[in-house]
Structure 1
Amino acid sequence: MGYTSYVAVGDSFTEGLNDPLEGGYDGPDGVTRFRGWADRVAERLAESEPGFRYANLAIRGKLIDQIVEEQVPVAAAMKPDLISFCAGGNDLLRPGADPDRMAKKLASAVRDLRASGADVLLFTGMDPRDTPIMRRARGKFAIFFMHLRAISDLYGCHLVDIWSMQPLRDWRAWSDDRLHLNAEGHRIVAAKVLDVLGVPTDEWRVTWPPRPSVDPRAKRREDVQWVREHLGPWVGRRVRGRSSGDGLEPKRPDLTTLA
């Protein structure tokens, strides 16, 4: 360990959707703010390092080009000890996504981050085989994550292999939209990140109790509700060329001491 400062860059995964802050918190723009695995990791690192500083530049809905152009230079200029970088999930859900081109973009950004002197933390993503909206793109996800593993090796980065994390294969780690982790899912990821960084913990090795059987009719009702409340709005934004992160600012834009 020994980290005195940490900057997180990325999209909704790193921003912390859907891990609500205790008691809730709406930012000055009226948008609900979330905690998430990155905040949890920063809180743990701060426990052993007085004056620990933390920034989180991640914004929901951002594509890899936006993250590389808007967040990576800012993070590198802050000169922190540790930078986490997770991007690409939103791109891979779009038709025509090219995982090879995305990997080249990511490799260039990782090179810049490492040149700043920071340790860099990278992530694979979940295997989308169990997610209806994503399983058709499973091959593209696999190719991109194989590139990511190679990039991690090439530049000497820490790698959190979420693809292999069995505790996250259970829907009880996910929120109702089936795309974002819930509070327990973020807690599991934070524990895995700390393990990768050398903070002794096995709290990410969760064994879920058996789930009760589900009435097929109830399952169909859940699916219909999911389409109406989550898939429909998501498709609508894609059609209009909009993003859930349009107009949002990072929740912690400055590298400041974490209380």
Structure 2
Amino acid sequence: MVGYRSFVALGDSFTEGLNDPGPAGAHPAEAGPYRGWADRVAERLAALDPEFRYANLAVRGRLIDQIVEHQVPRAVAMRPDLVSLCAGGNDLLRPGSDPDRMAKKLAGAVRDLRVTGAEVLLFTGVDPRDTPIMRRARGTFAIFYMHVRSIADLYGCHLVDQWSMQGLRDWRAWSDDRLHMNEEGHRMVAAKVCDVLGIECDDDWRRVWPPRERAASGVRRREDAQWVREHLGPWVVRRLRGRSSGDGLAPKRPDLGRFPDRD
């Protein structure tokens, strides 16, 4: 089993940990702190090495250009053993996103990180075919994630393929906003990351959900209408105003330090 003494996580809300409440009991409507898959993986690594250090620079709403400009140089300067980089999800949700341009940006960032000697962990996203809005751009998502697979192969990176994780296609792995995973979703992703890295983990990413009753069409329509009103509508308004849910927020763990926090 490979040991990592330091880990830096880069990205957006997925890596920040929305909506997996942290030990302080954060509510999804609050700024944090959240736990998330990266903290869960860090906990496993810390259990293997008392000198383990961890930083999480991810901030919700960040676009790939922002992540590459602001987070990647800080990770390069920290020179950790392991860096996770998941970027592009927010870009892909925007009309006219260019997966080829995004891939070039990602490849340059990966190259800079690999030069430091760090091992790099990349991610494909979840297949959006079950999401009413995002499935219209499924081809764009697929093109970008094929690029991610190619970049991982070219630069010798670890790859976490969420597209193949059937358990994440169940809405019980997601929070009410249908954009962010809940505790169970983050737990599955953490298990997948541990599997890819060869780290022992008690959870299994190949989760099979128990059957549930099929909701009546009227119930589904009411749920969809509520989602549009409470989540999609505010998201669209923020985009039209050029605002982000992460405006004014700082990373939850900006420095590479001992983890869990201790003297």
Q: 2: CA distance between counterparts of 1:23 and 1:53?
A: 21
Identity of aligned residues (%): 75
Partner of 1:110: 110
AA aligned to 2:22 is: L
Q: What does residue 235 of structure 1 align with?
A: 236
What CA deviation, in whole Å up to 9, does each residue of 1:59-93 have, x standing for no partner?
00000000000000001110100000000010011
Q: Which residue of 2 aligns with 1:89?
A: 89
The residue aligned with 2:125 is: 125
Measure how far apart 1:25 and its partner are: 4.3
* TM-score, reference length from structure 1: 0.96
CA contact (8 A) 2:33 2:252 kept: yes
| C-alpha distance in structure 1 between counterparts of 2:207 and 2:235, whole Å | 31
In 2, Cα distance between the equivalents of 1:13 and 1:97?
19
Letter in 1 for 2:174: W
Give per-residue Cα distances to partners, 1:4-57, cap 9 Å, x unaligned.
00000000000000001134249xxx7222100000000001101111100000
1:68 is matched with which residue? 68
- Paired residue secondary structure (2:141): helix
Is residue 8–residue 56 contact of structure 2 (8 Å, CA) maintained in 1? yes
Per the normalisation by structure 2, the TM-score is: 0.95
Distance in 1 (CA, whole Å) between partners of 2:183 and 2:155 is: 32
1:12-51 equivalences in 2 (<5 Å): 12-25=13-26, 31-51=31-51
Task: Indicate the RMSD between aligned Cα atoms, in angstroms.
Answer: 1.2
**Alpha-carbon separation, structure 2, partners of 1:22 and 1:33:** 8
Look up the match of 1:98.
98
**Separation (CA, whole Å) in 2 of partners of 1:32 and 1:78:** 24
**Structure-1 residue corresponding to 2:215:** 214
Residue 2 of structure 1 and its aligned partner are, at CA, apart by: 1.2
**Amino acid corresponding to residue 214 of structure 1 in structure 2:** A
For structure 1, the residue ranges without an aligned partner over 5 or more in a row are none
Q: How does 1:137-148 map to 2 (within 5 A)?
A: 137-148=137-148
Looking at structure 1, the residues matched to 24 and 200 of structure 2 have their Cα atoms a distance apart, in angstroms, of: 30
In structure 2, what residue type is equivalent to 1:227? V
2:104 partner SS: helix
SS at match of 1:110: helix
Gaps of 5+ in 2: none
Whole-Å separation in 2 of the counterparts to 1:133 and 1:244: 19
SS in 2 for 1:54: strand
Residue by residue over 1:127-167, the C-alpha shift from the partner in whole angstroms, topping out at 9 and shown as x without a partner, is: 11111121111111000001110100000000000011111
The SS at the match of 2:20 is coil
Superposed CA deviations along residues 145-204 of structure 1, whole A, max 9, x for unmatched, are: 011101000000000000111110111001100011000000000000000001145611
Q: 2:21–2:183: 8 Å Cα contact kept in structure 1? A: yes
Match of 2:253 in 1: 252
Which aligned segments of 4 or more residues in structure 1 are displaced greater than 6 angstroms? none
Aligned partners of 1:23 and 1:245: how far apart in 2? 20
Counterparts of 2:255 and 2:24, CA distance in 1:
24
Deviation at 1:205, TM superposition (A): 1.3
* Paired residues, number: 256
Secondary structure (helix, strand or coil) at the match of 1:221 reads helix
Deviations 1:95-133 (A, max 9, x none): 111000000000000000001110000000011111112
Paired residue type of 1:250: P
Q: What's 2:172 paired with?
A: 172
